[in-house]
Structure 1
Amino acid sequence: MYSFEDLVRITAQLRSEHGCPWDRKQTHESLKPCLKEESEEVFAAIDNHDMENLCEELGDVLFQVLMHSRIAEENGAFTMDDVINGICEKMVRRHPHVFGDAKAATPEESLELWNEIKRQEKLGKK
């Protein structure tokens, strides 16, 4: 069975000098329609309650994330590790009721807390 690390290596190989000409040619802009299509296919699998297809389509979306991350790494912008670190930091920061001392007993309270933290983050970036 393949691992996430294998997928990272496969993506790098596809983008390498000896990889696939189509994959090497892609840019963030050229991959936008692919990401949109794959996301729509995830929606369709969910709507159809097709778990086998959902698994496949989530893999396709994950591959899109890896392709964009690889392109960014090649351009010196960020790496897949940066993406993973960023989402981990965000999930921990926005869930103080899980990873800290805040309280949220209902889904609504959790969402309210999330939105307030997000609002504060946006104010801090201005």
Structure 2
Amino acid sequence: MDRLRSPGGCPWDAEQTHASLVPHLIEETYEVIQAIDTGTRADLAEELGDLLLQVVFHARLAQEHPDEPFGMTEVAAGIAAKLRRRHPHVFGDAQAESAQQVHEQWVRLKQQEKQRPDPLEGIPAGLPTLVRARKVLS
């Protein structure tokens, strides 16, 4: 990705922004879903690779931010830390005997971390209407 974004690299890649890549991110996400629903394992592997490319691309763009750069190292460290925090039954002393208890614990910990006064605040406005409605009601 560094070479693609560098002088002498790919003109198309060089002109992309987070916003210009959103349609590709959405499309690749839906292609992963389709591969899960109807594809083969090879289809799923390919589509997961395409989705990972979007994550790598966005992380590379984030490295270029003049004031608050971050890259794949920070993205990976962030998700690793989140998984440890949200799984205290694995990485700590908490108990969770069922998947339901794990889910309830995850939701509770997420609410504690985010501390959002408005429960609608964390629901992305761009979600499809029915998905958004389900999140609002849950």
Matched length: 116
Once the two structures are TM-superposed, the CA of residue 50 in structure 1 deviates from its matched residue by: 1.6
Distance in 2 (CA, whole Å) between partners of 1:54 and 1:124 is 35
Percent identical pairs in the alignment equals 50
Q: Give the Å deviation of 1:74.
A: 1.1
Q: Distance in 2 between matches of 1:22 and 1:125?
A: 42
**Is it true that 1:105 corresponds to 2:107 in the alignment?**
no
Shift in CA distance, 107/58, structure 1 to aligned 2, threshold 3 Å: same
Cα distance in 2 for residues equivalent to 1:16 and 1:51: 34
Secondary structure class of the residue paired with 1:14: helix
| Matched letter for residue 96 of structure 2 | A
TM-score (norm 1): 0.87
Q: Match for 1:96 among 69, 88, 106?
A: 88
Q: Secondary structure at the match of 2:7?
A: coil
If asked which structure has higher relative contact order (CA below 8 Å, sep 6+), I would say: 1
| 2:71 aligned with 1:79 | yes
5+ residue gaps, structure 1, are 1-10
* Matches of 2:7 and 2:55, distance apart in 1: 21
* 2:46 aligned with 1:56: yes
Structure 2 residues without counterparts, runs of 5 or longer: 119-138
Moved over 2 A (4+): none
